[in-house]
Structure formats: structure tokens, C-alpha cells
Structure 1
Amino acid sequence: MIDECLVVEFSVTGDDCPLADASRETGVTVDARPPQLRRDDNALLRFSAGDAADDLAAVLDADERIRYLHTSRTDGATNFRCLSKHPCVVHELTDAGFMAETLQYRAGTERHTGAVVGHDVLQGVLAAAAETVGVSLERVSPLGSEDDDAVAQRWDVTPAQEAALRTALEMGYFEVPRGATASDVADELGISKSAFLERLHRGQATLFAQVFG
């Protein structure tokens, strides 16, 4: 039994998949769950966007690689579901053993965060990354018990809420005194202040309900 698990984050540039192209063209930040690859090589995509989501929808709807695009609105964000006939970079890493948890597309750069089991698997994933254009390792660290919920467990929050919570935490929004204002975090996310606060409050309410039962 292998008792070592590592948290890994990759930066991806130059990807030509539909989500990367649409995010680059519209300037919209896209928060996505890992794609599910079907036997016919079509990928099931689930993702969300905040401001200017209509522009994103229009670009994707015109993309011949996208099929059955569906949108719905919740918590001030637009949620998307569709099929993609174009392979995603993350599939190359997944085949090598990378367990993706979150993907974010922003201004032509992607962040893929997940885990690998053991250094041997990590070496295989890094070898696959080296053969894939534009993929570089940003961070790797041991997965401790305090991190397990953040990576291995799916809290019942939307990708947009998770992005708001993570970005607020990273920018010091929850510190005393605050390291960043709500407007600062909203600007970093590329959304309005009111949209950020709505996602933050809904995400906090969901997390607190799960933590405290």
C-alpha cells in the first residue's frame, strides 16, 4: 500500500481546446470540473462563468467542436454543460495518473489542480507534461490530513463559489485586518463586487451547513 499522496498544480498555456479558446477570445474566467471522456472520444464538460457569460455562450455555440450546449443560472453565475469533440490537455495528464480536481481558464492560461499517488506516479505525470505543449509544474506538496478535504473531498459548492472562496483566502480577505477588499478580490476574479459577495456568502453558508451539520 502507498501511503504518500501529493498535491500538484500545473500551469498550461497554448491550449487550443474550446474552453481555452473561448476564454482567451472573450476574456471571461471559466471554472471547470474535470472533463469526462466517453468511449466515442467526446468529452463531457461542466463549467461556470460570471460576468459576460453570454459572450462566452455565444462563442461556444458557434464552435463546431461543441455540441448540445446547455446553460442555467444559479447564484449569479451561468452554469454550462456540453459535449466537446476536441481532446483536453488534462486527459494526457490523467492517463499518466493525475487526479484532477479543479480547472480554471483565464486569459489564455489554465490552472489544473489535483493529486497524484506517490513519487513514481508523479514522475510519469511529469514525463507526460514534458511531452505536452505549454504544460509546466507550478506546485507540488505532500497531502496532509489537513489538506485532504480540500483536494480529495468535493464540498457541495459551485465552481464559481469555490473560486471566490479560494481567491479571497489567498488574497488575505479573511485576515484581520483585511489584506484585500471585496473590490480587490472581485477585480482579480474579473466579476462585479456584488457578484463576488453573493458567491462568497452562498459558499460560506453551504460550507458552514456541512461543517456544523
Structure 2
Amino acid sequence: MIEECLVAEFRIEGDDCPLATATANADAAIDARPPQLRADGNVLIQFSAQPSDELSETLDADDRVRYLHVSHTDGRSNYRCLSKHPCVVHELVNAGFLVESMRYENGGATMRGAVVGYDVLRGVMEAAGRTVGVSLQRVYPLRTDDDEAVASGYELTPAQEESIRVAVEMGYFELPRTVTAVEVADELGISKTAFLERLRRAQGSLFGTMFG
């Protein structure tokens, strides 16, 4: 059994994948789930961003993107599509990198995830060395209190998670309440209605997970 798990963060520059290209052309930031490589060679990617017609049009015009679908929830645009372009991240995944989060911005990407032990890290680094523009930004041991049981994870969107975090930090859930919904919404840069909708959806997800 491996005793130590490491958290690693990689930066990718110069990758010409559709999401990196789109953030360079549309001046947008994209939060993506780890891509899923299908048996037919296509890559299923799911990601979200602030609403942007320019981003949607850029992706739709990219010949490497197929079946682009856009929905809107909690003030963000959620995208799903297939890509015919192989992602650099697959090279690292094949070497043992367990991707947890990906953020594309300014034509590049930051990936955060885990590697199980230093031997695996060395293999991932060798794979990164064979890939153009991949560099290790930082690595540190995963503390036992940093990890949570898989069954206790909550399906929150990045916007919902941010709304709850800011609300907690500002004292929205304190008794008596120290800030109003309007003040939290202003801090988030959204309307009161959007904040309350995010909060209700997040609470529904949390309570649904807790009570089945």
C-alpha cells in the first residue's frame, strides 16, 4: 500500500486544444471537468464559463468541436461537446496523474490533481517532459484531513460553491444575520435574485445528498 499521496499542479502553455484556443480568442476563463476519452477517439468535455456570446461563437466555429450544447444555470453557461483533438492531459493521465480540476485562461491551462507516491510523480514528470509546454508549478503532500470520503462529495457548480463560501465568510448564515442577501450578491457581482437562486439550488443539492 502507498503511504503518501501528493497533490500536484501543472501549467500548460502552447497547447492548441479547442478550449485553450477559445480562451485566447474570446478573452474568457473556462472551468472544465477532466476530459473523457471515448473508444471512438473523440473526447467528451464538459465545462462552464461566464456567459459570453463571443466564447460560444468561437467554439461553434471550431471544426474540431462537435455537437456543442449550451445551457444556462446560476448565472453561468454550461457547455458539453465532443472534440476530435487529443488533449495533452491524457498523456499525464496515462502516466498516473489523477485530474481533479482544470482551468483554461489566456490560451493556457492549469491542472490540479493527485499522484499516488513519488514513483508515480516521476513517471508523470517524464510524460510532461515529452509534452510541449507542460511544467510542474507545485507539489505537496496530501494531508489526511484534506481528503474526504468519496460518498460524501457534493455536486455543486463552481458558482454555487463560490456563493456559499462568500456567504459564510460574510456572515450570511450567522444568527443574527450580519449581512443581507443584497450585500452578498454585490460582493459576488450578481443580482440578489441570482444569488438566492444559486443558494436554493446548492441547498437542494446538499440536502438531497445528505438525506437521499
* Counterpart in the other structure of 1:174: 169
Uncovered stretches (5+) of structure 2, i.e. residues with no partner = 172-182
Give the distance between the partners of 1:77 and 1:150, measured in 2 at CA: 28
Determine if the alignment matches structure 1 residue 108 to structure 2 residue 107.
yes
Give the distance between the partners of 1:71 and 1:11, measured in 2 at CA: 27
Give the distance between the partners of 2:109 and 2:151, measured in 1 at CA: 20
Q: Which amino acid aligns with 1:8?
A: A
Asked if structure 2 preserves the Cα contact closer than 8 Å seen for 1:50 and 1:160, the reply is no
User: Structure 1's 147 and 109: CA in aligned 2 closer, same or farther, altered over 3 A?
Assistant: same
Give the distance between the partners of 1:118 and 1:185, measured in 2 at CA: 40
Q: Which amino acid aligns with 1:174?
A: E
SS in 2 for 1:174: helix
Give the distance between the partners of 2:150 and 2:187, measured in 1 at CA: 22
Q: How many aligned positions are there?
A: 201
Give the distance between the partners of 1:199 and 1:7, measured in 2 at CA: 33
Give the distance between the partners of 2:6 and 2:114, measured in 1 at CA: 5
Asked if structure 2 preserves the Cα contact closer than 8 Å seen for 1:75 and 1:202, the reply is no
Q: Which amino acid aligns with 2:15?
A: D
Q: Which amino acid aligns with 1:103?
A: M
Cα displacement (A) at 1:154: 4.4
Q: Which amino acid aligns with 1:205?
A: Q
Q: Which amino acid aligns with 2:139?
A: V
Say which one has the larger Rg.
Answer: 2
Normalising by structure 1, report the TM-score. Answer: 0.78
Normalising by structure 2, report the TM-score. Answer: 0.79
* Counterpart in the other structure of 1:83: 82
The 5 Å alignment of 1:124-203 reads: 124-149=123-148, 154-162=153-161, 164=162, 174=169, 192-194=189-191, 197=195, 201=199
Q: Alpha-carbon deviations, 1:84-126, whole Å to 9, x = none? A: 0001111111011000011111112311011111110000001
Give the distance between the partners of 2:201 and 2:6, measured in 1 at CA: 26
User: Structure 1's 135 and 2: CA in aligned 2 closer, same or farther, altered over 3 A?
Assistant: same
Give the alignment's Cα RMSD to 1 decimal.
3.3
Give the distance between the partners of 1:63 and 1:80, measured in 2 at CA: 14
* Counterpart in the other structure of 2:91: 92
Q: Which amino acid aligns with 1:16?
A: D
Give the distance between the partners of 1:182 and 1:47, measured in 2 at CA: 25
Cα displacement (A) at 1:82: 0.6
Asked if structure 1 preserves the Cα contact closer than 8 Å seen for 2:18 and 2:59, the reply is yes
SS in 2 for 1:4: coil
